[in-house]
């Protein structure tokens, strides 16, 4: 009889151990899902923060605001020199019928800052420009900024005619 009671106690202890391990695995899996969800949300917040730096310049802007936009783009490229997906391209039409100025950053070095400054110097301070953004479908980041002297000159109805940007 004593052996049977000891066997039942041992069997109960084994079942209790299995139950504790199962509860531990459940807690681990649910916390892993929560951590993954939080990481995804932070990523979405990073995308929104990046895009918000440029969003206020969309549509019709006076030349001084366009110059400020180009300055912001130059600083973004300088800050994110190591992350190619965060280096937006610039297409600027400085005057009606003039050739388009392209600044296509691949590395934000000193020469890229000079290119942004050259583009900025070609913007007429009192003229109104049309600013259009192209957002990368995979990352959600703005990867192309088009500044038109008159609406529809470069981008037209869509940005399909422009290169993909940084190939994000």
Which tens digits make up the pLDDT trace of 18-35?
A: 999 999 999 888 877 777
Q: Can you give the pTM of this predicted structure?
A: 0.67
Is the sign of the CA dihedral 150, 153, 156, 161 positive or negative?
A: negative
Q: What is the pLDDT of residues 64-101, one digit of tens each?
A: 999 999 999 988 888 887 778 888 899 998 887 778 88
List the strands of the sheet with 101-103, edge to edge: 59-62, 128-135, 142-148, 89-92, 101-103
């Amino acid at each position: 009889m004593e052996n049977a009671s000891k066997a039942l106690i041992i069997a109960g202890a084994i079942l209790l151990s299995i139950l504790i391990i199962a509860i531990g695995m459940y807690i681990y899996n649910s916390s892993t899902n929560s951590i993954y969800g939080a990481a995804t949300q932070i990523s979405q917040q990073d995308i929104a923060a990046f895009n918000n730096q440029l969003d206020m310049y969309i549509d019709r802007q006076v030349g001084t605001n366009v110059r400020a936009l180009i300055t912001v783009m130059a600083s973004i490229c300088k800050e994110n020199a190591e992350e190619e997906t965060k280096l937006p391209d610039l297409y600027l039409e400085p005057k009606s019928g003039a050739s388009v100025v392209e600044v296509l950053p691949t590395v934000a070095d000193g020469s890229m800052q000079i290119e942004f400054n050259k583009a900025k110097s070609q913007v007429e301070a009192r003229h109104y420009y049309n600013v259009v953004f192209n957002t990368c479908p995979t990352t959600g980041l703005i990867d192309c900024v088009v500044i038109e002297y008159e609406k529809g000159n470069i981008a037209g109805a869509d940005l399909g005619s422009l290169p993909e940007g940084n190939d994000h």
